[in-house]
Amino acid sequence: MKNLIPPIGIGLAVALACFAAVPLAGAASIENSECFACHSDESLTRSTTEGMNHSRMSEQLFIDETQFSHSVHHNNGIGCVDCHVDISKLDYNQEVPHKKQLDLVNCTMCHEESSNAFKDSVHMKIRGKGITMNCNACHGYHYVTRQEALSVADRTNNGCAKCHNPYQSHDWLPQKNEHFSFVECVVCHVPDAPRHIRLSFFDLMTNKFYSSQEILKILGISENEFKLLLDTDKDEIINVTEFENLELILRQKNVHAIFHAELVAEMHPSVHKINRGQAERDCKTCHSANSPYFDAVTLVLTKDDGSSDHFQVDRAVLESFSLRHFYALGGTRMKLLDKIGFLLLAGGFSVVLGHLAVRIATIPLRRKNEYAAEQSNIQEEVSR
């Protein structure tokens, strides 16, 4: 099964490569526990604003260790001083054992591709207007989690909607609500970014997405067995029949989950390259047969850490009754309906043209009959 490489994963790969190649000064000598000895204190705050960088949102210096432990960086073995590279040693003789004003964390050290894309974006260009937007404006500081498992709504709320209200613009866009609900902002605003239709298990009764664990528990199988259960012909893609089989299995387990479909961008560095005037505005790009926006379809099993397993699905599933809760006008239309429609139209025209042809061909006959009738009437009149 095709495994989409999550962009965060790319970032981490770059990060690990960095660490492998460049020994970080403090990494070996300072453990996270030493940092948390102070920073787990909720009352720890900076007592002065002297030297504060304007981009800081708060003076609070408390870090929630539990939340940090769920972060993508911690989960990949990246410690405090791997980012805060200007801390090389702790001097406990001082009131603050490291310099009071730390340098800004340079995410580019690891996330070079994302950084390059960001440098060529409107979010970088606004610095010319005096607005500084750093990585943390969207991603936060210490609790960065993987985004790939998030729904469109969560991606919007965690990202663009922090600053932008999409309802205040997009007046040209028909069916705003529908677009905002099913399409991630980046899909239109970075048309070149890789994207896919993301199918996830959704419970209509509770209005919640099923997690990977929940689905696997219901099916009574392990993570590895899920792929075997789905892809019975082992061709690495879930076709219509296999998709229907999965639905049937869920029904047999008395689970009435639907497949919720959303058009989302992949977590690729290019998603950072958002620019004015480059958003896709031609409706036909999406809403026409064979639109490239529906080429990649994946079924996802979402995990608690924000990651997800992806299973490639045949596009034909989008254009069939197997997927009853998603339809993109024109873009995922069923070809069968077109054929039935053609037959209906052809039938209508055939009846009309056939009848008309016979009507025209029988004009002499009707004239003859009318003439005979008139003659008969005249004879009747005369005989009276």
Partner 1 sequence: MSHEKLIYIHPAPVRVWHWLNAAGIVLLVATGFQIRYAEILNLMPLKDSVSLHNFAGFGVIAAYFLWLFYYLSTGKIIIYFPDPSTFVAKAVKQVKFYGYGIFRGEPNPHVMTPENKFNVLQQKAYLGIMFVLLPAQMISGVFLWKVKGYSDYIHLLGGIRIIDTIHVLFFFFFASFLVVHCYLATLGHTPLAHFKAMFTGYEEHH
- Smallest distance, partner 1 to C-beta of residue 210, A: 16
DSSP-assigned letters across all residues of 317-347: GGGSTT-TT---TTTT--HHHHHHHHHHHHH
Closer of 131 and 357 to partner 1 (Cβ) = 357
Give yes or no for residue 283 binding partner 1 (CB under 8 A). Answer: yes
Proportion of the chain in helix, strand, coil states, percent, rounded to 5: 45, 10, 45
List Cβ neighbours of 353 (8 Å cut-off, separation of 6 or more): none
Decide: residue 373, CB within 10 A, 0-12 exposed, 13-18 middle, 19+ buried. exposed
Q: Of 230, 233, 254, 235, which Cα lies nearest the Cα of 322?
A: 230
Q: Which stretch binds partner 1 (CB under 8 A): 11-19, 38-46, 112-120, 339-347?
A: 339-347
Considering only residues 173, 218, 219, 316, which one is a binding residue for partner 1 as defined by CB under 8 A? 173
Give yes or no for residue 210 binding partner 1 (CB under 8 A). Answer: no
Considering only residues 172, 380, 381, 384, which one is a binding residue for partner 1 as defined by CB under 8 A? 172
Q: Please count the residues of the chain.
A: 384
Give yes or no for residue 369 binding partner 1 (CB under 8 A). Answer: yes
- Measured CA to CA, the distance from residue 345 to residue 350 in angstroms comes to 8
Give yes or no for residue 376 binding partner 1 (CB under 8 A). Answer: no
Q: Which stretch binds partner 1 (CB under 8 A): 22-30, 66-74, 120-128, 345-353?
A: 345-353
- Smallest distance, partner 1 to C-beta of residue 187, A: 17
Give yes or no for residue 287 binding partner 1 (CB under 8 A). Answer: yes
Count the neighbouring beta carbons within 10 Å of the beta carbon of residue 275: 14
Q: What residues form DSSP beta bridges with 262?
A: 198
Give yes or no for residue 248 binding partner 1 (CB under 8 A). Answer: no
Give yes or no for residue 100 binding partner 1 (CB under 8 A). Answer: no
Give yes or no for residue 177 binding partner 1 (CB under 8 A). Answer: yes
Question: Backbone phi, then psi, for 243, in 5-degree steps?
Answer: -65, -40
Give yes or no for residue 325 binding partner 1 (CB under 8 A). Answer: yes
Residues near partner 1 (CB under 8 A):
172-175, 177-178, 181, 204, 258, 283-284, 287-290, 321, 323-327, 329-330, 333-334, 337-338, 340-341, 344-345, 347-349, 351-352, 355-356, 358-359, 362, 365-366, 369-370
